[in-house]
Amino acid sequence: MSTVQTATHIGGPAKLFGAEPVLYVAGELGPAQAGGTYPVIDPSTGQVVGLAADGQPADMERAIQAARVAFDTTAWARDPALRRRVLLALADGLEKVKEEFRPTFMKETGIPRGVHSRFYDVAITNLAYWADMATSYEYERELSPVTLGNVEHRRYVWHEPYGVIGVITPWNSPFQLSLMKIAPLLAAGNVVVLKPAIDTPWSGTILGQVAASIPEMPAGVLNVVTSAANEVGDVLTGHPRVDGVTFTGSTAVGRHIGARAGAALKKVTLELGGKSANVLLDDVDVAATARAAAYAVCLHAGQGCLLITRLVVPRHRQAEIVDAVAAAMRSFPDLDVTDPNSFIGPLINQRQHERVLGYIQSGIDEGATLVTGGGVPAGRTQGYFVEPTLFSDVTADMTIAKEEIFGPVLAVQPYDTLDEAVAIANSTEYGLSSAVTGGPAEVALDVAHRLQAGSCAVNGGAWFGVDTPFGGYKQSGLGRENGIWGFEEYLQVKTIARPTS
């Protein structure tokens, strides 16, 4: 069987570790059947840095078949101890190569060195949580017996894996989000076919390369098919031998995937867009809040669905808050992504660059006040960079208040009453994340209860973790990831009864 060491030194044009034009199907690394490849672009330069395998529908069919065989014929679904050992081996293998893979990860995503460890290291650490869940979870539970006539009946509830699950991941944090989906699926006894985002294939490829070095992992339990063709994803989501689909990405694509899965009555979870608001209460500490708000929307160039992109502020304090946020944004240095202090970075590709600049122009055209930013940073002649951008006097009917921009753009929306603040925060189709800042605590918690979102950070509370449910209300998705809630998303529930002997 291929090993990580041999697979990751084939080398593309840039000789990047792990950047191989290979698929991982049925336990083997190899090229796409038709031999096709496509270029991978470094977002910080706009230049080609290597090649990825361009899988076609036939490759996806092959991966689905391999997964089906693995689920139906191996011990994987019925052996939690095996699953635990394999997940720990996967964690160990990824840990061993992480320093060599970091430059590759940064090249394909544009994630700056100052933040990339959050997206990579923590994802590896969390595998131990899922390994423990595989063996500690109570798959069989006995209910109280019932008596019918003179016969007592014992009753049980069993939790069993769904089967073959298609996983489609986005480009903004591809390694973390792939593991966030794959690990609980595997721990629960499912098998996986992963289709990484077109722009960031190597974060999926490295998972296949490490999996290929784990002798105990049955062939077909994990498959990775990279492709530049959207129809390959459609093969996965609509295939009759795929039992479920989990997707993270835009709401528009989520609707398409949900429709295909729904037509086949297929299990689906969707983690989609966000337009999260932070409601600042009247007594908010502006100095403490402004820099945190500016940093959060600029992190990874604002390319995060749960990032706070709107500040809902008391009207009489808007000027003060806007001045403080603008000063913080202007203080952020435009660092090279390899600098350990960098945290902003580029947008993923030219299409997104043009899209974000278009949203900024719409804000200007619709009457919002551009306070700072709004263009390409001075001196940036390569790559897909956008300045940290702040708008004030934004109203709920403006495009920049309603639609997910996915760039370093923050909209400030003023309010006069707390009821109006809640209405503004809830005025979009999204409901992924939210925040309330200020006090007293009982007021902040009351506002948190009224916000239509899957999570809420009250006064800077850190809610995200491997053991906490993550997902959204409204058009931000279906289902939950992480914790026991994410684990049980892909476990079927079976009721069993038998007469007492």
Is the pLDDT confidence value at 8 over 70?
A: no
Asked if residue 350 is part of any domain, the answer here is: yes
* Residue 99 in domain: yes
pLDDT over 80 at 116, yes or no? no
Residue 309 above 70 pLDDT? yes
> What is the percent of the chain with per-residue pLDDT over 70, rounded to a whole number?
97
Residues 281 and 259 in one domain: no
Lowest mean pLDDT among 4-13, 126-135, 289-298: 4-13
- Give residue 13's pLDDT: 44
In the prediction, which pLDDT does 2 show?
33
The per-residue pLDDT for range 402-448, each reduced to its tens digit, is 999 999 999 999 999 999 999 999 999 999 999 999 989 999 999 99
Which band of pLDDT confidence, cut at 50, 70 and 90, is reported for residue 377? very high
- The answer to the question of residue 282 being in a domain is yes
Beta-strand (E) ranges in 136-266?
140-148, 151-161, 164-168, 191-195, 222-224, 244-248
As a residue count, the chain comes to: 501
Is residue 209 located within the same domain as residue 327?
Answer: no
Q: Are residues 197 and 327 in the same domain?
A: no
In a domain, 260, yes or no: yes
| Domain shared by 430 and 379, yes or no | yes
472 occurs within a structural domain: no
Structure tokens at 48: 């080609």
Sequence-distant (6+) residues with CB within 8 A of 51 are 12, 13, 19, 21, 37, 38, 39, 40
Do 258 and 290 fall within a single domain? Answer: no
pLDDT in tens, 209-267: 999 999 999 999 999 999 999 899 999 999 999 999 999 999 999 999 999 998 999 99
Tell me which of 414 and 113 has the higher pLDDT. Answer: 414
Q: Report pLDDT digits (tens) over 193-213.
A: 999 999 999 999 999 999 999
The whole-angstrom separation of Cα 410 and Cα 292 is 12
State mean pLDDT over 100-126.
89
User: Is the pLDDT score of 19 beyond 60?
Assistant: yes
pLDDT of residue 345 exceeding 80, the answer is: yes
Q: Does residue 501 fall inside a structural domain?
A: no
**Residues 210 and 130 sit within 8 Å (Cβ to Cβ):** no
Instruction: Read off the pLDDT band of 396 (50, 70, 90).
Output: very high
Are residues 248 and 130 part of one domain? yes
DSSP state for residue 216 in the 8-state scheme: T
Both 86 and 30 in a single domain? yes
Are 460 and 488 members of one domain?
no
pLDDT of residue 6: 31
Q: How many folded domains does the chain comprise?
A: 2
Instruction: Calculate the CA 459 to chain-centre distance.
Output: 24
Write a three-state SS string for 315-372.
Answer: HHHHHHHHHHHHHHHHHCCCCCCCCCCCCCCCCCCHHHHHHHHHHHHHHHHCCCEEEE
Confidence check: pLDDT of 119 > 80? no
Statement: residue 287 has pLDDT above 70: yes
User: Quick check: 409 and 387 in contact, CB under 8 A?
Assistant: no
Same domain, 327 and 212: no
CA angle 418, 424, 428 (to 5 degrees): 150
Residue 353 sits in a domain whose CATH number is: 3.40.309.10
Computed over every residue of the chain, the mean pLDDT equals 94
Report the run of H or E that residue 129 belongs to, with start and end: helix 127-136
> Which range is least confidently modeled, 106-115, 134-143, 324-333?
106-115
Q: Which domain holds residue 300?
A: 276-465
Judge whether residue 110 has pLDDT over 50. yes
- pLDDT band of 383, cuts 50, 70, 90: very high
- pLDDT of amino acid 1: 31
Q: Which two tokens stand for residue 208?
A: 């296949």
One domain, residues 251 and 300: no
Active site residues: 271, 305
Q: In the prediction, which pLDDT does 3 show?
A: 36
Based on the fold, state whether residues 177 and 287 are members of the same structural domain.
no
The CATH number of whichever domain residue 109 belongs to comes to 3.40.605.10
Among 406, 174, 413, which Cα is nearest to 275's?
406
In a domain, 500, yes or no: no
Looking at residue 429, what DSSP letter applies?
S
Same-domain pairing of 346 and 452: yes
Rounded to whole angstroms, the maximal C-alpha distance in the chain is 86
Q: Domain for residue 473, yes or no?
A: no
Contacting residues for 438 by C-beta, under 8 A, at least 6 apart: 280, 281, 282, 283, 284, 285, 444, 459
pLDDT at 115: 85
pLDDT at residue number 111 = 93
